[in-house]
Each structure stands twice: as structure tokens, then as C-alpha cells.
A and B are shown apart, each in its own frame.
Chain A
């Protein structure tokens, strides 16, 4: 139902049930927000978006208050501006004055707010509370001193991720974001997905940095540093440096990595191809024996951690194949560099991923030696590129320096929810029938929906597959399975909503527009790439011949399957 309201003297039509903020956004009036996130439930906690409604004694939050027929709204009246400014001043009173040293200097929303509202002096005395930085977790670091208690992290953790690893504790000015029993992130339900970092407006939540370690390795003449990067890295780098996301960007990235001092760079999509081959064979085996179905994919370390910690009863359904990052690490350390004559102990493998959980995964892989020595997020890579003075836009693109960098577009599709499944089905179909799937593209598995279901015919058999992203959605789905939903064959899970394109290690300031362009970049590659299926990747086939054995063989299991871990929440 349409109704007319008045905003700053202008007649505006709006729908019943809309929030004031929705209407304001539509007509181009910007009110500052802090706790608001479009895909989370509004809480109206920060009060930054308050507006004046004639006839009401107090100001109302635009984000959670719905429009009503009679409303005459003032969004920037003196009373409103004074209130907003005071609120920011109150937040700043307890906030450390160390912007220059902060991880988020320049990208901090609190900085933005105080600039916007022209806060120019410290009006209120601070009561400095001693706080401890929680840095035991290999993926995520928390600095409670910088927290403004907008509760975005705790809401993401509850509503999108579904584990509630962090939430508010204490009352009044003693309120803080805490972990269970105050034992820190390393000893609680956290699955390390890093979505909390993505929504944190300040520098309270950051990834645990490995930049220093990588720089030291790069300058250590005794080491042989190599790098692998995930399929979504090129697009993000293009965004950050204002480059066109084309095929060239891959080679520009390679050039930049070379300039940084990496001796070789590998595209982890190749390892994704291997992952597909192994998993396809494994699935056909399970399908034939009709056991351990549905197959749950295991390329997302946050999801794997969730199953290990919360739902061990599902662990047998989980694919035992290592994630692409770990497969790449294995291959580099055990085959590629040694065949090039480098001593295994000297190789230092760095992985660039949009994933904070990858850091934890590399640390605890079950074997004694590390397969990946350091994992850096895309944010860290961007910092390193800047730190090392690399002007990426003026570099000459450099082709792949190793044969092992060839990958199919199926491997690239790992970067988006549904993509892994799509590549997997292509190879399953080929392995089982000897023919290519036609058409190769599975439209049901594409797009930014959190849950995508598809029914495909493979060798006269109907196979039902589901791709779920956002761990909370995945939890809901496996609950469905636990409650008796049958006839599902493969479930692909990505803990971050829409998969790695929205990973916890992605660029700061990722929004829906970014997601769409990153998605498009990956789908475009699938259109343009010659090799679209893993089983046609010549390097993979060569590896299977020379180093590995046939898919799902004893030898492959030894090398490519992971050692099961025992983890618990507390």
C-alpha cells in the first residue's frame, strides 16, 4: 500500500512496512549509520541514524522505524545533528587515539563518522579500561579497546555464520564483546571464517597478520619462496588498483608477485582441478556402493571445522580430500620443486587467499611438516604490494612461469558458491559416462542465492546436488538431512555467504556491487577459457601419470587425503 510522507519538506511516496532508512536511501538522503547492515536484522542500537519526526517527543532510528502515514521527518535538523555528533563524541571518549597506528586507518567508519559530523575536540574525559588483545587465534585478532559495540560481528556470527562464537557480555559501561568463558577466540566455537572482520567498522577485528613472516622469507637467501593464489585473488587486486578485470590481470598479478621476490607463482585453481578429480572418483565409488551419501564437500576449512567441532556425526560424509590450498602445498613441496632441483627443506610456500580460516588450516594440517608455510589474506597482499613499492598498473604482464599453473575454468569456479559443484559434476559425468556434460553450464547452480539446488542426470541416473553458502544456512540444511530429508547426493558448503568472493579475507569495503563483479569475472573466465573441465587439464593428467596414480587410488589417498583431526569447541 502506498502512502505519502514528508521528508525535509519534500513529499515522498513510500510503501507501508518500509523503514524510514529505505525511503531515505531511495530519495538520495544520506543519514549516517553504524550498526546497520542491510542483510542483518535491524537492532536500532547505535542510534546514529536518528531522525526527527514531528509530534514524537524523542528521535527515532531510521533503520528500524517504519514509515507511517502522518509522518513529517527532518533528517538533518539542528537537534538531530547535535544528537549524532554527541553520540560520536561519546564513542570517541573511550576510543584509543591511535588512528595512525591502526590497521583500519583510512578505512575506519568511526573516522568517517567523526569527519562527517565534524568532531574537532575531545569533549568527554576518557576512563581508560585496560583491555587485553585476543591474539592467540591463528586467524583472527581482537582488540576490544577499539570496539564500539555496534554488535555487527556478533549478529553476523549468529545470523549468517550460525555459531555465535562472540557476543556481548557484561552490563552498562562494562559491556564488551566476549568469547565463552572469556577464553579467547582460539578456544571457542569460532570457525575462523572472518566474516566478523568484514563487518567490523573499526580496527577491533583484524586478521592475524603474516606479512612480516613473508617479508623475512622473501629476503632470506637460504629459502626458496614460492606463492600460490586462490581463484578470486586477481579480481580483487584489479578492484583495489583500479584495473580492468580481464585475463591480463592474472599475468599482472604474476608479475607483481615475481617483483615481490617470489621465485615461482602457482594458481591454486590447478589444485582445485585435482580436488575435483579425486572427489569425482570418490563420489562415483560412494554412489556405486550407496554409502556415505550425501557427500559433503570439504574445500572450505571453516565448514570442515564446524563439522569437526559441532557435528562429528557428519564427519564420515565429509570428503576426505584436502582443500586446494593444501593440495597445492603438497604438490609444491613433494613434487614440483624437488623435480626442479630445490631441496625440500628450503621451499617456503605462501598462500594468498580470501580466507582467514585458511590460516588455521595451514597451521593444523595433521602432519608434522607444514604444507603451506604462511597464509596471507588479499588485504595483506594489497598491503605488501604497496609496502614493496610495486606499481602494478605499470608492470608488464608476465605469463605463467611454471607448467603447473595451467588450470581449467572449473577450478577457477571454486571461488563462488556452486562453482565447485559445477566443476565436480562435469568431471563426474565424464568419468561415469565417458561423455562431456551438455551443456556444461549448470544454471541452477549460478548466481548469488544462498541455497541453490539442481537435479542433473549422470549416466542415466538422477543426481540431486545442493550448494549452500553462509554457514547458518548450511547448518539449517544439514538439520534437514538429519531430520530425514533424503535423496541428496552432494552438498557443497561455503561458510561465507556466496563463497570465497565474499570471504573473510577479501578487500575491506566489499559490497554487493563488488560481489557481482567478482562473480561476473569468474563466470566470464568460464566462457572464455579453452579448457573448461578438470579432466581435460593436461597438467593434472600429467601429474596423475608421473607423480600420483589414478583418481581415488591408494597412492592418491596417501598424498591427497587429509589426516582426520580431533577438535572440540572448548
Chain B
């Protein structure tokens, strides 16, 4: 009797179309993914490990656990750097946003020479930071600088000692940062130009004044752009380095000692890489906290056209 046998099982399982497409997708993004894993994620993990050691990365590797994290809050200069940076961030970001939005609103008018004005206002953000700092260094000179010369003409003489004064050094750097808000201005301009004109026409037909139109149409319609600008501004401002490094070296008397400048000193000047790595992770946590806070708050005030609210 011949027993019918089942067909021989095949050696390989055939992949479904979905799996094949997923594999293809990962292969396409693999260059970026490999770079991210190696140069970003890998570096972050290495930094986390280093933060648990007292090390100069050359000859000394002593495990200290979380001592660096706890010790940071006892460090007078760490507290100073954190307070300086926090003050800088929560002053610069609103000022930059208001300044950029104001310029965008002005440039959104149909005026002759609009292109020229856009270029002029955008130029500061494309000038190299070193050149910008050199120019502002001269402008802020208490004796011969342009700013104090103008102030003297309007009766404020002697003017502030700016970078040589503990009281005025940080405001001077903030002033320079606000001057460079041309990049945000362009983003706001794009958002303003994306607002449907019909909304304004309907509002005008209903008798809405300019301020009302601005508050109830313009702001809500560009709220997502404002949100983006605030988040990116916050992250960038907390990492300010160039101005304090090149203009004041953190002085006078640590009045402009920013967080990243302090971190840089600890790592590359004093070779305290363990402590510096801990500072970097503390900054990461702070930024995550504020970013998440802003994302949470966005449910209340940010409007997305495609969003369906409950």
C-alpha cells in the first residue's frame, strides 16, 4: 500500500510583502541610523558612563558613582553658571520671538523694496558669529563705542560700562543675541504668508479691528510656528557659548559665565571629563524638562489646522 506523503517542507520561510518593505525602508535609512547610533547615541552612552568616573580620559579612571551629580549642586560656580544661563534664556527667547514676529509683520506689508528690507533684516543671522562679536565688541566699548556715543547724544553720559560691568555685561550679550533674530523672522514671515486671506476678509466684514484680527486670527494661525520658535530658541539659548567665550571669557566676575562655557572649561581646560559629562547630562535633563513642559502646554494654546480636538 502506498501511503501518500506530504510534500517536502521548503527550507526557507518566504517573507511577506510588508516585511520586505520594512527591511527595504530600514536599509534606506541605515546610513543615517548608523551615524546616529555611532556618533550620537553611542557618544551619549559613553558620556553617561564617563560621568560616573573621575577621569582625564588619559591616565586616571576612578569610579565615583553619582558624586559628580551631587557635587555639582555644591559647586558655587555651577550654580552661578546655571543662574546666568537661565536668566539669559528666559530673557532672550521672548525678546527674540517678539522682535522676529514684529519684523515679520512689518515685512508682510506690500511695500516697495520689500526684498531689500528682508535681506537687511536677515543679514545679521548669516554673518559669522566671530565677526559679529568683533563688531559688537567695538560698539560696546564704554569710551569710544557707537552705543555709548549715541547715548551721550541723548543725554545719557556716562553710559553703561557694558562688557566691563557686572551689571551690564549680560544685557549687552542679550542685546547682541536679539540683533541676530533674522532667522526666526523669515520663519514667521513664511507662516504669516500662509494664513488664508479669507479669514481676514470675513473678520473685517464682521467689524473686527486690526488688533482683534491680530489676536484672534494671526496669533492662533501661526501659533504652531511660535511654538517651534520657542522650543528651538530655548534649546539654543541654554547652550549659548560663543559670545561669553569670545567677548568676556565669562567675566567680569563670572557675570557672563554661561553653562556651556563652564562645561568647556571643566573638560578641555581642566581635563575633568567625568564632571563635565555629568554637567552635560544635567543640562540634558533640564532641557528635556522645559521641552516637555512646553509640549504639554501646547495642548492649550497651539492650534494645528488638521487637529481634531475633543
Please say whether chains A and B are actual partners in one complex.
Answer: no
Point out residues on B near A: beta carbons under 8 Å. none
